[in-house]
Amino acid sequence: MTEGDNRMKRFSVVPLLLFVLGSQSFQSSTVPAFVQAAAPASAPKPVEIAIKDGPIPMRVLVQSPADTEADLQIICLFRSDNSNTLHGSLIETNEKLKGLLDRIRKPSLFGGELGETLLLQPTGSLTAKRVLMVGLGDSQTFTPERMELVGAIAYREASRLGVAHPFFAPTILDGGVTKFTTGQVSEQVIGGFFRAANTEKLLNSEGKAPQPIIKDLTYLAGPQYASSTQEGIEKAIATEARK
């Protein structure tokens, strides 16, 4: 091989090496840099107000009944007619139940009469294991005193179902009745709750009922109504203490 042939061979190798090196450089420059995705912020914990000195431990929880993780979530509904529309948390609950409240709220199905109950075992995005609907009757003639019976029903149904930690939402405002304070309502609810508890204790002491199951009660309220709700519960506790 002549010196000229060797020179030509060396020159032919150089472009090939440059091409390979250039290709590697281009490929490395096009690899996107790794960017760590920010972790989604966790939902804020609901505000909780502990109620002191009650015969049964209680708390006010600022949370919608559509969002609770409860063994039993109790909600209340006025009579099932077109004039009683849903608002707020009841709309949220209905949406998570995929419109079930709209379909069931009919006089021929769930009439919503005072004291009427219906137990649901929801699936889907509603996180409560069971939902108990309690009828409130006519919205036009509603008074807070009606909730005393509802409170007693809430206790007895939770006890019958074996639920130690029930959640209760009056949902009166979300049912369209706004002329009473949440404290007026909660005072009556808790009065009825205590009445049912006292009845159960008496029956148990005489061997006519099992040991009470209910350990505490969580009472739901909106952010602007938590203080009034707390005051009503404390009034009911004070009344109970004087008996």
Per-residue pLDDT band for 44 (boundaries 50, 70, 90) equals confident
Domain assignment present for residue 38? The answer is no
Would you say 184 and 133 are in contact if contact means Cβ atoms under 8 Å apart? no
195-218 residue pLDDT tens: 999 999 999 999 999 999 999 999
Would you say 151 and 191 are in contact if contact means Cβ atoms under 8 Å apart? yes
CATH number, position 129: 3.40.220.10
Domain assignment present for residue 126? The answer is yes
Q: How many domains does the structure of the chain reveal?
A: 1
3-state secondary structure (DSSP) of residue 231: helix
Beta carbons within 10 angstroms of residue 8's beta carbon? 11
Containing structural domain, residue 175: 48-241
CA distance 185 to 182: 5
Confidence check: pLDDT of 35 > 50:
no
What's CA 65's distance to the chain center, in Å?
4
Domain assignment present for residue 20? The answer is no
Domain assignment present for residue 111? The answer is yes
List the structure tokens of 92: 């949220």
Would you say 122 and 68 are in contact if contact means Cβ atoms under 8 Å apart? no
List the structure tokens of 129: 């294991």
Domain assignment present for residue 101? The answer is yes
Mean pLDDT of the chain: 87
Domain assignment present for residue 69? The answer is yes
Domain assignment present for residue 37? The answer is no
- pTM, two decimal places: 0.82
The pLDDT value recorded for residue 147 is 98
In terms of pLDDT, which residue wins out, 15 or 86?
86
Mean pLDDT, rounded, for 28-45? 50
